[in-house]
Amino acid sequence: MTAITNRYDFVLLFDVTNGNPNGDPDAGNMARLDPETNQGLVTDVCIKRKVRNFVELTQDDQQGYAIYMQEKAVLNNFNKKAYEALGLEPDTKTKKLPKDADKAKALTKFMCDHFFDVRTFGAVMTTEVNTGQVRGAVQLAFARSIDPIVPLEISITRMAVTNEKDADKERTMGRKHIIPYGLYEMHGFISAPLAERTGFSENDLEIFWQALEQMFEHDRSAARGEMTTRKLVIFKHESKLGNAPAHQLFERVKVERKEGVESTRAYTDYNITVDHAGKPEGVEIIERL
């Protein structure tokens, strides 16, 4: 498939109600936050995982849409497939790519062609079975909540016990970390020159947009509460390198708390506006959702 020829920047708005959007293992799985502002954070890795899961769920039988970073995957086994397809033997002693530049490029191209997340997000595949390193066409920033979040630690009980020695106990105790509500904003960037290198195509792009819109619908759990993609604003540049700085485009998306709302507890507590007036020449603004 032909690689995309336009640059894209985008803003994603999503929210969570009575859940933990992205726990911090260094803080007992409490929701991640900025300690100075108490605004919530969600890592790029968290969102990429949900995109991967959506693609794996919906494109499982489609050639070229396998997922490289799978749960409990043995990456060397995936890398070996590239060597087998090209009739090469990996140098597991030096852990280096073949000295022949064409063969090295062919190995990396095989990985891009077969794995959606490699050509989309990139990957460091310099393991014992080395297939190179790829810088992906799609890059994501951390998501940040519009307002400060309120982390809560909720005690829960379990009526069963794990070991027979504890059979006389009435119940065991546990904890969940949640926030009552948070609306998050994430920025993303898609590079046409990098897409040329990885083969990220128009079809890949549409699947990526669908994943951002629907990823939470297939990632339900009590721990994450109700998570929903609320708005996706895409800035499509006419040129390959772009027609305006990304930060100026992001500033056109305004998220403001409605007058009189003291504690936000729903998406309807905000006014969301996208400024289309006087947009830079060569930039198309597309609102999805």
Identify the pLDDT of residue 8: 98
Sequence-distant (6+) residues with CB within 8 A of 51 are 117, 120, 208, 211, 212, 215
User: Taking the domains of the chain in order of start, what are their residue ranges?
Assistant: 8-61+140-288
Identify the pLDDT of residue 185: 98
The model's pTM: 0.94
Identify the pLDDT of residue 170: 66
Burial class (CB within 10 angstroms; exposed 0-12, middle 13-18, buried 19+) of 253: buried
With a cut of 50, list the residues of the chain below it in pLDDT. none
Identify the pLDDT of residue 244: 98
